[in-house]
Chain A
Amino acid sequence: MEKIIGFYPGCSLEGTAREYNESVFSLAKLFNIKLEPVPDWNCCGATAAHNISKKLSLSLPARILSQAETAGMKSLLVPCAACYNRLMVTQHELFENEELKSEVEEIMGMGLNSPIRVLNVIQFIQEYIYPGLQEKLSSPFGKKVACYYGCLLIRPHDVLNFDRTEDPQTMDEAMKMIGAESIDWPFKTECCGAGFSVSRTDLVAKLSGKIIKDACDRGAEAIIVACPMCHSNLDMRRNTIDRLLGYKTEIPVLYITQAIGLACGLSVKQTGIQRHIVRVDWQRLNSCLPEKMIKEEEDIHG
């Protein structure tokens, strides 16, 4: 029987993170789940809104929640980590504070009755994909991967109550289930620079550079992410990062849904792999190590 759950794509998934959207939908289709988008959804306001105005940063996500509630949705899948964070924080703040809630309801001219279950992509995978995963696994993902969680998927812990803040494991578990080897590394939850991608590219290159370098140095063959912002900083900004690091890195960045999709036999096109700026070419991955280091190794070993 087909299962139906609510779906909030968020703006990135309609633009620069199209492949994330495609892979989520392909995966859901494969597991017989129907994703029902929130009717007439709006942007959650992201970082800009809570930097400029508190009321605005609560009202925009509240409108989304209200729309979902009106459509009768019980649980809502939010693949974008930033949107997930904003929706959870808003729900937390409003249902804790009756006064604030009625003020926000007045601002948006809509009501909110009860909290909705907001699921991030990993919770969705655990709940809906895990049960049938072993059956559908056709080509195990035998790669060494670095799982990168970023900030907004797990912090603040008090509100999200998901995984551990310092050394989260849920993505690693999922990767092990599809036959990949997940490495232990210290940059799992370090910030990539997030919303400064356009306004302060220099800072993003510096922060993301550290992440890419560490994953490469530890011999990872791919970085696995669950956030469109992390992806665009690590993938789209690779030229700037390489310039800063002083050598070319070729490690691809995949969404968790793409990795699972590939392991379950979905095609490159169905998972949108061809849309990445850093080409996914497993044969070339051996050159992931910086040239200088390869030379050094050759010198040492004669």
Chain B
Amino acid sequence: MPGNNPAMLQNSDIFEADAVIYDLEDAVAVTQKDSARILISQFLKSSKKPFPMEIVVRINGLDTDYYMDDLNMVVSDKIDTIMLPKARVETLIELDKILSRIEEEKHLTKKIGVIPIIELAISVLEINQIVTLPRVNGVLLGAEDLSSDLEVARTKKGDEILHPRMCIAVACAAYKIDSIDTPFTDTNDDIGLKEDCRFVSSIGFTSKAAIHPNQVPTINEIFVPSRKNIEWALRVEAAAKLADEKGLGVFSLDGKMVDKPVMDRANKILKKARNYNLI
């Protein structure tokens, strides 16, 4: 959602998306960065009840003059995640330090997550390290800028981004974090969107970014949890309840340790399944 558009901001909770990204980067003109920061901040402050979706703010990159003002203005208990463009290991480490400082200064009650956007060739090479960094709870592929960096044409079929997609899907799966595929930019091609969703789902992506609200139902249709995952999550939930009664924080299921990240993943699956009346 463009961060300087009040009509869009105030309707952002009605589209049944798992998360909404309020944008301070490319969707906001250079002359309106200040205006967008203040608008997003006031919009979030004005909300009296919790949002039904994850609140993400895409800031400007750490190679710009805007990111520090972005962070100082929008980081609060009202947001869940900062999305970082052109992310690299070194910029993510720097972002972690800045967020820690702001969290302390503002006495935040939660730790803000980070979703790096992989849109540089060098970031693809760094992906196995990026997914291990503090706060990183998901990764978004940014195929438009990545194609530009690769100096290749962006196509609907996406052969040019096959390798980055594979790298991201595997790295995220290994660390049990969300892998978010690049948006499908033709908002009038629902069949193409569906094919794209099916393909990336088949190689392990857990979700896909939408560039327009009319893409959300199709994306949800493809990415709802499978029956197998729902059954696993229900078993984790039952085992967690039992462990809680015994005062155990960590327990094992099917010979594998279940700790907070695994329980979080199970809870996410169940939440999504319940949202779609699958259980």
Do the two chains bind?
no
